[in-house]
Amino acid sequence: MRRAFFIFGGYTQTEKIIKLDGVDQLSFIGFNDSNLKPIEERFNSNLVVRGENIFIQGVNEEIELIEKIIKEMIYVLNSTGKLNQNDVYTIIDLTLQGKEIVNGNEVDNIILYSKKDVIKAKTPNQISYWKSVQQNDICFAIGPAGTGKTFLAVAFAVAAFKKNLVRKIILARPAVEAGESLGFLPGDFKEKIDPYLRPLYDALEEMIPTEQLKNYLEKNLIEIVPLAFMRGRTLNNAYVILDEAQNATGMQMKMFLTRLGPNSKAIITGDITQIDLPTYSQSGLVQVKEILKNVDGVGFVYFDKFDVVRHKLVKDIIEAYEKHNSK
């Protein structure tokens, strides 16, 4: 990188050159320079691309910020294979907030650049989860609440969808009652079932702009459905997630796993300490641990209280229950 100084209008202007070595320039710049326009909108500095160099001309403080943004853009492109205008807006917002998006040691753990932040595997078990999902077509994530099982699963799916590795995302949950009956809830069937599916909507809303998510849902590119609605379907070119799988029966689990078609992946998440099934029904998640443990292409990842990423008290609550149950 080369820097030059000159005076313009009473301010010290800086020119800096950033080399785009090893970068797909067309993907980096975007169609009609679309990926550079957010930078030009937010800053007064001038950007000119010549060959493999970006020339930035402006005041020193802006130059430093723009340099950080460009480095983050390169990280996004190299780690995800794609860069679009929404990514650039997110990178700019995070940089202006003083948040470090990546460092050199964590690039491989980045899963998705969301609306407000970068989503990455943080704990050793979360990193193992990410690797297992990359290596297997079916992955089971089993562990207590708050360990990121569902949130990361949705991030894996959205990342694959954005890279055009799959054509659609399907998220399913068993509609099992935990202390109250569906029949006593107000509204029609959709209104009764929505509370069970709300955590999946919440995760998606963290990762996809509101209007874009609405469009995907309307076109059924993203589906959120009760597990029972999966029967009879064959899911091709899809990323399929079964959440709260401890509340699926053995037959439901088999039904779900046999829906998978060509070029599809499945993630099954659950917590076997929170089974809400009637006492006469055995959890399909408990069964499948033994049935599929030696099948190639099927991975199992287990989380514990040290992976909790929610409120700091969640880990203490899990620990207190473990001590109580051990007595």
- 151 plus 77 within the same structural domain: no
Q: Which domain holds residue 53?
A: 3-101
| Each residue's pLDDT expressed in tens, for the chain with a length of 327 residues | 444 444 444 456 788 888 877 678 888 888 888 999 999 998 988 888 888 888 888 888 888 888 889 888 887 787 677 788 888 888 888 888 777 655 544 556 778 776 666 788 888 999 999 999 999 999 999 998 888 899 999 999 998 898 788 999 999 988 765 444 445 445 555 565 666 677 888 888 888 888 888 999 999 999 988 888 888 899 999 999 999 999 999 999 999 999 999 999 999 999 988 888 876 578 999 999 899 989 999 999 999 878 776 666 766 776 777 777 776
- 274 plus 131 within the same structural domain: yes
266-301 pLDDT tens trace = 999 999 888 888 765 789 999 998 999 899 999 999
What burial class does residue 235 get, using C-beta atoms within 10 Å of its C-beta: 0-12 exposed, 13-18 middle, 19+ buried? buried
- 38 plus 167 within the same structural domain: no
Residue 297 token pair: 């292409």
- 295 plus 175 within the same structural domain: yes
Sequence-ordered alpha helix ranges (H) in 184-226? 189-207, 210-218
Beta strands in the chain (DSSP E): 3-8, 11-19, 46-50, 53-59, 110-113, 118-120, 138-142, 168-173, 222-226, 238-242, 265-270, 298-302
Give the count of domains, the chain. Answer: 2
Q: Is residue 116 part of a domain?
A: no
- 150 plus 81 within the same structural domain: no
Residues in Cβ contact with 215 at an 8 Å cutoff, skipping those fewer than 6 apart: none
Angle, vertex CA 178, rays to CA 172 and CA 182, nearest 5: 75
- 61 plus 18 within the same structural domain: yes
- 182 plus 61 within the same structural domain: no
The strands making up 11-19's β-sheet, listed across from edge to edge, are 3-8, 11-19, 53-59, 46-50
Return the CATH number at 19.
3.30.1370.10
Q: Is residue 86 part of a domain?
A: yes
- 192 plus 276 within the same structural domain: yes
Find the Cα–Cα–Cα–Cα dihedral 167, 173, 174, 175, rounded to 10°: -120
- 273 plus 131 within the same structural domain: yes
Task: Look at residue 104 in the predicted model and tell me its pLDDT.
Answer: 46
- 178 plus 283 within the same structural domain: yes
- 281 plus 313 within the same structural domain: yes
Q: Is residue 117 part of a domain?
A: no
